[in-house]
Amino acid sequence: EFDHASGLLEEAVRLAEAADDRECLATSLNDLGLAVKGCGDAERATALLERALMLFRHMGNQAQAARALNNLGVNLLYGGDPARAQPMFAEALRVHRALGDRPGTAATLNNLAQVAQAADEAESAFALYLESYAVAREASVYPYAAIARENAAALARERGDLRFADEAYRESLDLNL
């Protein structure tokens, strides 16, 4: 699935380069980075996402730059480098908030919570999950709200707060229905 998508996106990159369409090129590079990450090549994914980020910044497209920052951060986080991911997420959060992008804000808060959790900063992670949930819920972005709630529930369970965990898991399931 990711291999097929990668092939199609490689072609999109070639076409965008031939047409000198920087917006299409940046978007295709970003999406190719995600597909390549899905194929397991985190190093190449990082290079593609960094190139997309550079192009979005050069064009002044802050919203897409924040998206690329978030994707780059996720690639680094799941690649085992939460310390490098954290500043990517922090910058993306600043941009999402400045643009009033509540879905982007919610997703990025959740990602920052995962960085905090990876650093064994449970209190900070829990607070960020709750903030992500609140922003997503307020924006009616229920899939993001469900993810944040489920992550908060899992952390609460690890910390021994089974009552909160049970309630939050149930709410997460309800949000997914």
Span 49-89, pLDDT tens digits: 999 999 999 999 999 999 999 999 999 999 999 999 999 99
pLDDT of residue 3: 85
Decide: 75 and 49 in contact? Cβ < 8 Å. yes
CA-closest candidate to residue 72, choices 18, 117, 38, 33: 33
Decide: 158 and 139 in contact? Cβ < 8 Å. no
pLDDT in tens, 127-158: 999 999 999 999 999 999 999 999 999 999 99
Provide the whole-model pTM.
Answer: 0.91
Sign of CA pseudo-dihedral 54, 58, 63, 64: negative
One-letter amino acid for residue 5 of the chain: A
